[in-house]
Amino acid sequence: MAEPVALVALALDAAIGWPAWLYRRIGHPIGLFARILDMCEQAWNRPDRSFAARRALGVLTMALLIGTVGGASWLLQRAVLEGLGPIGWLVCALLAFPALAQRSLDDHVRAVALALEQGDLPAARTAVAQIVGRDPDALDAAGVSRAAIESLAESFCDGVAAPLFWLLALGLPGVWMYKAINTADSMIGHREPRWRAFGWAAARIDDGANLVPARLAGIAICLAAGKGWRTMARDAGKHASPNAGWTEAAMAGALDLRLVGPVWYDRVLHDKPWIGAHGRNDAGGVDIRRALVIYRRACLLLWAIAGGLAWAL
């Protein structure tokens, strides 16, 4: 069942994405996950609780979130497939495609390239602030370009490869449980004192959920570019994340660029190591365009995999 659903879901996402008018009217499904997390955080992540208690309540939060999303998705998938017969899988594709972000990611990163090509650095900073958490005002044109490319590479896993992997593996419950986990990690899976205990489970579960997809996504980028293997193998482990380094190192090698390095978050400089240490440091709009070409080819490889599985199974 999952294979034709995955192929159609990819096609729907590439064709229409999640339109802005629809977002304004009804929001996005991950908004529900955010509300659940906010309620749990406000109720349970109080500073008067001990570190151990907040960690345990963070584990409970993730169990409730994953169990609720997985159970509801399973019941919905079962009802659709049993109730609609031969066309049930098409409806499942409609229910799955909002979990993918091929078009949205392409649109956001392309906006950064366009602003840089027009020589409008403030607009480029505003555009890149939509997709990265670092301080945009501290970025020059090269820094904006690197930030956009890094986000494109990392989000290729989080927004495309990993959701597709879990859709193929576990159907509708798989893709939406993954999105719930990934949303939790982005909201509470941080190392700052406020989140270190409560967000511990979110960060660890997200690491596990991305373990295989991140490496497959790195391979897809190298295949799409025809290079990058050596940099990926050498530098993937330099990233603070056990997973994000694979796609970022693959992209750095594919473009012969240096990525990551020292960055500012909340006016604090974080001295991160360079990935792609032997590459150029002068990234620009043209490099973002090159990265987008590689990204689109990598997405097409995922289409081929989903199509091949649909044909074979």
Q: Is residue 2's pLDDT more than 60?
A: no
Which of 165, 180, 246, 235 minimizes the C-alpha distance to 40? 180
244-269 pLDDT per residue, tens: 999 999 999 999 999 987 675 666 65
For 58, the 3-state DSSP assignment is helix
Q: Is residue 35's pLDDT more than 60?
A: yes
Alpha-carbon span 151 to 68, nearest angstrom: 29
- Residue 3 pLDDT: 65
Residue type, 196: R
Domain total in the chain: 1
| Mean of per-residue pLDDT scores for the chain | 92
Q: What is the pTM of this model?
A: 0.94
For residue 43, the enclosing domain spans 2-312
Q: How confident is the model at residue 133 (pLDDT cuts 50, 70, 90)?
A: confident
- Residue 269 pLDDT: 58
Q: How many CB atoms lie within 10 A of CB 1?
A: 13
**DSSP string of 228-263?**
-HHHHHHHGGGSSSTTHHHHHHHHHHHHTB-EE-SE
Handedness of CA 228, 97, 128, 135 (dihedral sign): negative
**Span of 15-19, 100-104, 186-190 with lowest mean pLDDT:** 15-19
- Residue 1 pLDDT: 46
Phi-psi region of 119 (alpha: psi -120 to 50; beta: other; left: phi over 0): left
> What is the mean predicted confidence (pLDDT) over 234-238?
93
Phi-psi region of 49 (alpha: psi -120 to 50; beta: other; left: phi over 0): beta
Q: Is residue 189's pLDDT more than 90?
A: yes
- Residue 267 pLDDT: 64
209, two tokens: 């959920």
Which of 27, 300, 13 minimizes the C-alpha distance to 183? 27
User: CB of 276 within 8 A of CB of 250?
Assistant: no
| Higher pLDDT among residues 48 and 277, named by residue | 48
φ/ψ (deg, to 5) at 259: -120, 170
Which parts of the chain fold into alpha helices (H)? 2-16, 20-26, 30-44, 51-84, 88-96, 102-117, 121-128, 141-156, 162-188, 200-225, 229-235, 244-255, 285-312
